[in-house]
Chain A
């Protein structure tokens, strides 16, 4: 089989002691798709992202991205292949400025060596100018340019979420994994976020895979959805298909199914 563009997960299992956080999960996300991953609390969604990005070791299964096997690769290695992510509990460099947060994400694109940086070779000056230009371009996109000198930790919550996405974009990723990007946002901010995700997906030619509890966001954005429960894939398919699936309804039993509220 020719190497396909996109993400391919086969038989992924992750176990924490006796707990099977993810069992035998297989899924595929084609290049350019916008796909959702949902499920009740503790279903194993974040664990899937952690396995994809090298933050936890799968017990079995394979993860192929753009034809490269990234199954047991460390996070910085996975990042080099163009996989970027955000975190459920925002992980910004809180004491650094907004601009410095973005500059760090440009890390892999710098061409000068440690010595070149110390000696301030011409390439250093060129690339330092370029990283500022690039960062400001992306800050413009998320409307944070005026805050560029503010400490990231001092930003309003919604802006912190946006900054984390912006930071991921500076990496020039091919696949962007968003872990509950709308968590803690008000409806207005959520609508803005939907617009933003759609916009960046097109202009950056991105594949987006997102975890979300906010169904309005998922239904607005995602063409296909995967549903996890207790680590098992219980349904997948189009939005309408999934929301009428009896197993999904059962999984959310006792809770309000997110689309009913």
Chain B
């Protein structure tokens, strides 16, 4: 039971190989016109949302802090990267990196005071932060103000979003499975106990927040160079977007990366599949949430990860024994 280590290492590699094959399959389907450019476009948006949801889950699910201004970091990345490539001719990859770092730095700046708050107060403070970013952008004429920023070159392609989504998931997963990630989870579980064991709780709160912000920033850069236009509307970079990401996190399960990936996938596809869904999105999400509270109150994956052990557990449905297999990797 204790020597899962070797198996886990291989598990990582086999997942990477599978992901590589999946990419080739999508590529071939696109080449043979089974998937139309429109489909590929949607899959790119799925990947961008995966980055956003997974990075918010790090803050909401693993750190356990209800920070919900994630669209603010997305906005910073989207606008900053567009300004860098349009006005200053930066190479796109560099612009993505700078956007991530800038969002991460703002995350630190906001996080240091805001993370002294908890619960509802933190939620309101971070939501307010997101709106402040949006209002600032509205008042910068150089990036289009209320009209939005148009004429952004299309530098994002599906492959890039796919790659960054994978990097995000792996970075967050490896972080969680390290001593530093365990420190973050221990804050969620019992902050006082964590403190007594030598965990610098302020440092780790800010660090997790900054890592989440970093990835939201890169997602923003991908997004604006994918749509070639970014609007300062609440549904794009404001609180509606923040709430949407939050809902995906909660539906997938706080503290479950697989859950985040699944909901990001499903809830991005749904509006494209069902005409008219887009208008009713904000009606359907709450209904989904209510259904979840009734039937699966801890989210789709309830803090579990999709792994061999989890599947075994699911299919065996052992009678509730004392020795619940807690995978040492997953932070359940």
A120 at the interface (CB under 8 A from B): yes
Which of B1, B199, B326 makes the CB contact (< 8 A) with A96?
B326
Which residues of B (37-59) have their CB < 8 Å from a CB of A?
none
B183 at the interface (CB under 8 A from A): yes
Tell me the smallest distance from the CB of A89 to a CB of chain B, in Å.
Answer: 10
| Interface residues of A, count at CB 8 A | 49
Bound: A80/B203 CA distance, A:
15
Across the interface, do B331 and A96 meet the contact criterion of CB distance under 8 Å?
yes
For chain B, which range describes its interface: under 10, 10 to 19, 20 to 34, or 35 or more residues? 35 or more
A85 at the interface (CB under 8 A from B): yes
Encoded as 1 (CB less than 8 Å from any B CB) or 0, chain A from 126 to 154 comes to 01110110001000000000011111001
A171 at the interface (CB under 8 A from B): yes
Across the interface, do A75 and B195 meet the contact criterion of CB distance under 8 Å?
yes
Evaluate whether A91 and B190 lie within 8 angstroms (CB atoms) in the complex, with A120-B174, A149-B323 already known: yes
* Residue in chain B with minimal CB distance to A86: B196
Tell me the smallest distance from the CB of A73 to a CB of chain B, in Å.
Answer: 12
Across the interface, do B183 and A104 meet the contact criterion of CB distance under 8 Å?
yes
* Residues of chain A lying within 8 A (CB to CB) of residue B177: 117
Which of B194, B207, B331 makes the CB contact (< 8 A) with A114?
B207
Bound: A103/B324 CA distance, A:
19
A191 at the interface (CB under 8 A from B): no
Evaluate whether A118 and B183 lie within 8 angstroms (CB atoms) in the complex, with A84-B196, A92-B193, A167-B197 already known: no
Across the interface, do A97 and B197 meet the contact criterion of CB distance under 8 Å?
no
A94 at the interface (CB under 8 A from B): yes
Across the interface, do A171 and B171 meet the contact criterion of CB distance under 8 Å?
no
A108 at the interface (CB under 8 A from B): yes
Chain A interface main SS type: helix
Across the interface, do A117 and B2 meet the contact criterion of CB distance under 8 Å?
no
Bound: A89/B331 CA distance, A:
23
Across the interface, do B198 and A93 meet the contact criterion of CB distance under 8 Å?
no
* Residues of chain A lying within 8 A (CB to CB) of residue B5: 125, 128-129
Across the interface, do B326 and A110 meet the contact criterion of CB distance under 8 Å?
no
* Residues of chain A lying within 8 A (CB to CB) of residue B200: 76
* Residues of chain A lying within 8 A (CB to CB) of residue B186: 93, 96, 104
Across the interface, do B194 and A112 meet the contact criterion of CB distance under 8 Å?
no
* Residues of chain B lying within 8 A (CB to CB) of residue A104: 182-183, 185-186, 194, 197, 199
Which of B175, B198, B323, B328 makes the CB contact (< 8 A) with A108?
B198
Across the interface, do A100 and B182 meet the contact criterion of CB distance under 8 Å?
yes
B235 at the interface (CB under 8 A from A): no
Can you name 16 A-B residue pairings with CB atoms under 8 Å? A76-B195, A76-B197, A79-B198, A92-B190, A93-B193, A96-B185, A100-B328, A103-B179, A107-B198, A110-B180, A117-B179, A128-B5, A148-B2, A149-B1, A149-B326, A149-B328
Instruction: Give B residues with C-beta under 8 Å from A.
Output: 1-2, 5, 171, 174-175, 177-183, 185-186, 189-190, 192-201, 207, 322-326, 328, 331-332
